[in-house]
Amino acid sequence: MEIEGRPGLNVQKKGIVKQPDPVKPPPNNSEEEDMDCKDMKKEALNRRNAWEPTVFYSLGNETFSFTGQEINIRESLDSFGAVIWPGAVALCKYLEKNREQVDLLDKAVLELGAGTGLVSIVASLLGAWVTATDLPDVLSNLNFNLSRNTRGRCRYTPQVAALVWGQDVRRDFPSSIYNYDYVFCADVVYHHNFLEDLMITMQYFCKPGTTLLWANKVRFQSDLCFIENFKKVFNVTLLDEIPQEDVRIYQATARTSAQMREEKRENQQHDV
């Protein structure tokens, strides 16, 4: 999940975070040693409502089990982007359960608003070549979690890159060289001012041949409005719904030119 605010890509421009490779490398053919991780003090994570900002700072670990692997996530309650959200867990469960329908082996995957990296980790463990993106402020913890949970375990080494929704996306990710089989988004829609930028970014990366999977907890009326606009922009299928958590998982593909022409024609007839 992305966090509130619009910092520039200074971190990336200074060379601390380089642009991700656009071409999938050969699969890893040798096992690397698992990274030694320092012991971290575990604290009870006293979350309020998932959409309320927190004002205190603490570190903790959450442990998950996906694809037969134990995944340890370091999270922090000082920003939205460093907390695990229900949409991410739901999407991971869906990917694990539906491996035949969503075959990620050797696929190129981009995650928008990767946050703690849980979805990107699971996609990597399922054989995908993953590029996890978020705001510069989140990248350090994101990179830490990806490294500690994928090193020596994955067919491809995942990448981490800065990406600000709607800002310099065409320049930093030119469509001539950056193409993805899947785009993943988990709990990227909530109470923030950049929903239009998010939609533009989704459209940019979801090209013909790309499948977008979006999991989200519905919290506000603005979320429902985004869903309606989302259905107008893409071909959308509701894949799964978890009523007790108000989480929905959608699949989306780009509309063809023929579909858009037909919709325009129908709208013109309706206006008459």
CATH number at residue 149: 3.40.50.150
Is residue 49 situated within a structural domain?
Answer: no
Is residue 19 situated within a structural domain?
Answer: no
Give this prediction's pTM: 0.80
Considering just the CA atoms, what is the radius of gyration of the chain in Å?
A: 19
> CA-to-CA distance for 51 and 65, rounded, in angstroms?
25
pLDDT band at 55 (very low <50, low <70, confident <90, very high): very low
Is residue 269 situated within a structural domain?
Answer: no
Question: What secondary structure letter does DSSP report for 138?
Answer: G
| Count of residues in the chain | 272
Domain that holds residue 182: 61-260
> CA-to-CA distance for 261 and 257, rounded, in angstroms?
6
Q: What are phi and psi of 252, to 5 degrees?
A: -135, 145
Is residue 86 situated within a structural domain?
Answer: yes
CB 105 within 8 A of CB 27: no
Q: Which two tokens stand for residue 95?
A: 């990917």
Residue-wise pLDDT tens digits, 90-141: 999 999 999 999 999 999 999 999 999 999 999 999 999 999 999 998 899 9
Total domain count for the chain?
1
- Looking at the chain, list the stretches that DSSP marks H as alpha helix, in order from N- to C-terminal side: 10-13, 86-97, 118-125, 139-150, 169-172, 195-205, 221-233, 257-271
CB 138 within 8 A of CB 145: no
pLDDT at 36 over 50: no
Is residue 39 situated within a structural domain?
Answer: no
Residue-wise pLDDT tens digits, 212-224: 999 999 988 889 9
